Chains A and B, each alone.
Chain A
Amino acid sequence: MTIGRPRIYMKSPSPLPGFGISLGYTLVYLSIIVLLPLAAVFSKTAAMGWHEFVAVGLSKRAIAAYKLTFGTAFVAAMTNAAFGLIVAWVLVRYEFWGKKFVDALIDLPFALPTAVAGIALTSIYAANGWIGRYLEPHGIKVAYTPIGISIALIFVGLPFVVRTVEPVLKDLGLDVEEAAASLGANRFATIRRVVLPAIFPALTTGVTLAFARAVGEYGSVIFIAGNMPFKSEIAPLLIIVQLEQYNYAGATAIATVMLAMSFFLLLVVNMLQSWARHRS
């Protein structure tokens, strides 16, 4: 490999070796593992007629699944916005016994396999479960209903909110808050007018990340969902249902709709992050 060639692609030359080989390897591996398989979805969809696409991808059952998926993901993301903010605030600002342990616990949803979380939550919220037995007599059914789906998605999304807000809260100097206080703002006004606006971009980024993850979530949801078509059937499950009926075109159509939404969310996250960078 000559030194001259990679420079064509480089903005500024670097004396370090290995640019060509590392970039080449990255691109080849990325293409084989990620890009080629993803291209298969879109090429399969493109080969399908519009009517065929609409017949499954936008069927009544699919629309019901999208609504349920997005609705429950939204509820979970909003719940995490509130509680995740409190958890992040408490972890950054207060000292209490067992804080290190609590901090480590936040990442459990990242590390615990989704299927394990799914069966555990189902056993807790089933009619005879630890929490379910107290809710059932009051007529509140959680397992096998959309509420159960939201509970699973809250579990899955929590670390995204906490871990995105935490570093921003840490970096937020106390001087601005002191300034606000010395100018006569009470504590509530300071938090509402100074702290919340400063962490708002991070909070929205975290909530969007949690929402995006929740939309695609499968393992933790299917055990607690009940999986009734039109009622408690999430979009990823509908893909599995189509696959089990050997309807590959149908599965691909639904996957395309979901991928389009995921990429849109990814774009939103990128925009939010650059907004946050410009603010700070």
Chain B
Amino acid sequence: MSDRPTLKGRHASVSEPRLVRWLLVAIALAFLCVSVVLPLVSVFSEALRNGVSAYIDSITDPDAISAIKLTLLVAFIAVPFNLVFGVAAAWCVSKFEFWGKSFLSTLIDLPFSVSPVISGLIYVLLYGAHGWFGPWLQAHNVHIIFATAGIVMATTFVTFPFVARELIPLMQEQGSDEEQAALSLGASGWQTFRRVTLPNIRWSLLYGVLLCNARAMGEFGAVSVVSGHIRGLTNTMPLHVEILYNEYNFVAAFSVASLLALLALVTLAVKSFLEWRHADELAAKHKH
């Protein structure tokens, strides 16, 4: 942030005429309004089209409630798994130099470049009735595909890189001087991690968990392949939105969708707050 060019007192030679500046801001704002703000507003407007009571009815419908519960359950399992992995991966990638490190980083990012539909398909190919482990699972009466386990696995795959991606650039920039100092003063490895590393990365960690959670709760493509769309059983919120929408039950579809939109807004609000409050720590910027 510190080397950001100062805008005050800029020489006219490195600025544009006022009309051009005004025009560019107008273009940018108009584009964002049409492409980002309008869809967001339309979700809430469509949800409240038939009034508040219809809205409340839609989100307290038993199928909606069970979809909400399943979504929370899936995120509750998938996010901690990826949190532990993210910290472990960031620790070994950022604190040590070893052969194949950059290859490992690429592999960690891999799920970002796989289509969500394929992310679901790969689990069907492994655990589905015709998959590698399918016959064995069937013989032992274990259900993964078209059951909660499959939804959790597909969600874990899709949200796999989020925490690691957030931590690696930050921890690389922080180096390991502080940890080495703690160790030389007699702290154990675990103490060093808990008292030195964790406080240094906590806001980035929270940020990564937030993004991971938002994606976990909102994942659609991968989950839709493995879930089987069984109402009240294997329907997550995004899938419930799809079913309602395809039944032309638009108000109900947008009502459930508005809860997901609220989740997105809360995520963005906390993210903005963290960036404002802890800008220095989050400065090691990430790319998705």
Contacts and interface: CB of A to CB of B under 8 A. Distances in A.
A260 to B, nearest CB: 11
A107 B268 contact: yes
A276 to B, nearest CB: 11
B4 interface: yes
A233 interface: no
A100 interface: yes
Contact of A158 (B29, B36, B157, B265): B36
A100 B272 contact: yes
Contacts of A21: 88
A34 B160 contact: yes
A165 B117 CA distance: 29
Contact of B126 (A36, A91, A95, A167): A36
A140 B85 CA distance: 49
A75 B145 CA distance: 36
Contacts of A83: 27-28, 31, 35
Given A38-B122, A258-B118, A104 B271 contact: yes
B254 interface: yes
B136 interface: no
B287 A163 contact: yes
B108 A240 contact: no
A23 B106 CA distance: 15
What band does the interface of chain A fall in when counting residues whose beta carbon is under 8 Å from B?
A: 35 or more
B98 A119 contact: no
A36 B132 CA distance: 11
B135 interface: no
Interface string B99-119: 100001011111101111110
Contacts of A160: 288
B88 A22 contact: yes
Contacts of A94: 7, 21, 24-25
A255 interface: yes
A158 B35 CA distance: 9
Interface in B150-187: 153, 156-157, 160, 176, 179-180, 183-184
Interface string A53-84: 00000000000000000000000000000010
B198 interface: no
Nearest to A206: B287
B216 to A, nearest CB: 10
A3 interface: no
B contact residues, range = 35 or more
Given A34-B160, A107-B271, A111-B211, A259 B114 contact: yes
Contacts of B91: 18, 22
Interface string A217-257: 11100010000000000011101100100001001100100
Taking chain A's interface residues, is the majority helix, strand, or loop, or is none over half, making it mixed? helix
A14 B221 contact: no
A116 B218 contact: yes
Contact of A10 (B14, B96, B276, B288): B96
Contacts of B85: 25-26, 29
Interface string A122-157: 011000001100000000000000000001001100
Nearest to A35: B107
Nearest to A155: B35
B2 to A, nearest CB: 11
13 contacts: A9-B99, A11-B98, A14-B96, A38-B110, A41-B125, A87-B28, A113-B218, A114-B221, A124-B42, A163-B288, A177-B14, A216-B118, A266-B113
Given A17-B183, A124-B39, A216-B118, 9 more contacts: A89-B24, A94-B21, A102-B29, A117-B39, A119-B257, A120-B46, A164-B287, A216-B113, A218-B115
Interface of B: 3-5, 7, 10-11, 13-17, 21, 24-25, 27-29, 31-32, 34-40, 42-43, 46, 85, 88-89, 91-93, 95-99, 104, 106-111, 113-118, 121-126, 128, 130-132, 153, 156-157, 160, 176, 179-180, 183-184, 189, 192-193, 211, 214, 217-221, 224-225, 237-239, 241-242, 245, 250, 253-254, 257, 260-261, 263-265, 267-269, 271-272, 276, 285, 287-288
Interface of A: 9-12, 14-19, 21-23, 25-27, 29-30, 33-38, 40-41, 44, 83, 86-87, 89-91, 93-96, 100, 102-117, 119-121, 123-124, 130-131, 151, 154-155, 158-160, 163-164, 167, 170-174, 177-178, 181-182, 187, 190, 209, 212, 215-219, 223, 235-237, 239-240, 243, 248, 251-252, 255, 258-259, 262-263, 265-266, 270
